[in-house]
Amino acid sequence: MLLKGKVAIVTGGTRGIGNAIVRKFLENGAAVVLFGSRKETVEKAVKALKETNPEWSAEGMFPDLSDPQAVADAISAVKETYGKVDILVNNAGIAQSTSLYDYQPGEFDKIMDLNVKALFYTIQPAAKIMKEQGGGCILNTSSMVSISGQPSGVGYPASKFAVNGLTLSLARELAKDNIRVNAVAPGVTRTDMVAALPDEMVKAVCAGIPLGRMAEPEDIANAFLFLASDMASYVTGEVLSVDGAARA
C-alpha cells in the first residue's frame, strides 16, 4: 500500500497506460479520479474498476483539457470532494507520424495543444493546491522519442521534448514548495493499438529492443507508482526511461 491515503488525478486514464496507472494506484491504496475525453468512455472505465474491486475509491470526470477554466474547475472539484490533491499524472496525449512534407499546421497545433498546453493547464491549478497543503507530486508521460527522436511525425517528439523541459524546469521551481516533478519516458508498449499489429511486425519491433520484448502497460505503471510514492521522496527533475534499452 505505497499510496495509502493519497488522492490522485490521472488524465488519459480510461485505457492503455493511463488505465494501468489508475489500477496500480488503486491497488496501492490511493483514491483516484481519472480524466477522460468523453463521458461514455469515462463511465465505462469507472464501471470496470468498480467491478474489479467495489472497495476502490475511483471516479471519473471529462473536462476539456484545452479549456483552462474547465480544467481548473475540475481539479478544484476534486479538492472540494477529497480535501486535497496529492498526485497529478499528466498522461493524456496523442501520437502522430506524418512526414514533414505532408504535415498540416492544424496537425502540429493539435499535438501541441494536448501534449504540451494541456499539461500547463492541469499543473498550474494543481500546484497551487499542493503548495497550500504543503507539497505534492506531479508526474508527466514523456516518450523514448523525446530522447532519440523519430524518423517522421516531428510534432510528437517535439511535444515530448517540451514535456521534458517543462518537467525539469518545474522541478527546480516548485522544489521550495515541496512539490516533486518527474516524468516517465515509455518505450514501445503493448496497448490496444500495438496489440492489433500483425505478429511479424511485433517480432520486428521487438528485435530492436535489447530486452527482447515490448513493455506491458503494467511495466510503465510500476514506474509511475515508484515516483508517486515516498520511496522516491528525494527524486525530482528526472525523466525515467522505461524502454528495455530500445532507441527509436
The pLDDT of residue 191 is 87
CB-based contact 193:157 (threshold 8 Å): no
Q: What is the pLDDT of residues 6-29, one digit of tens each?
A: 999 999 999 999 999 999 999 999
Nearest-5° Cα angle at 151, 146 to 157: 25
CB atoms under 10 Å from CB of 64, counted, come to: 13
* pLDDT(222) > 60: yes
The pLDDT of residue 121 is 98
* pLDDT(62) > 70: yes
Sheet with strand 58-61: strands edge to edge? 58-61, 31-35, 7-11, 87-90, 136-141, 179-186, 239-242
d(CA 52, CA 160): 33
- In this structure, what are the phi and psi dihedrals at residue 242, rounded to the nearest 5 degrees? -130, 80
Mean pLDDT rounded to a whole number for the chain: 95
d(CA 216, CA 190): 5
- The distance between the two most distant Cα atoms of the chain, rounded to a whole number of Å, is 53
95 or 29, greater pLDDT? 29
The pLDDT of residue 173 is 98
* pLDDT(193) > 80: no
CA distances in angstroms from 222 to 25, 28, 144, 150, 186, listed in the order given: 9, 11, 17, 25, 11
* pLDDT(201) > 80: no
* pLDDT(129) > 70: yes
* pLDDT(53) > 80: yes
Question: Rounded mean pLDDT of 133-139?
Answer: 98
* pLDDT(144) > 60: yes
- Which domains are delineated in the chain? 7-189+216-242 (3.40.50.720)
User: What predicted TM-score, i.e. pTM, was given to this entire model?
Assistant: 0.95
* pLDDT(196) > 70: no
The pLDDT of residue 245 is 94
The pLDDT of residue 172 is 98
Catalytic residue numbers read 156
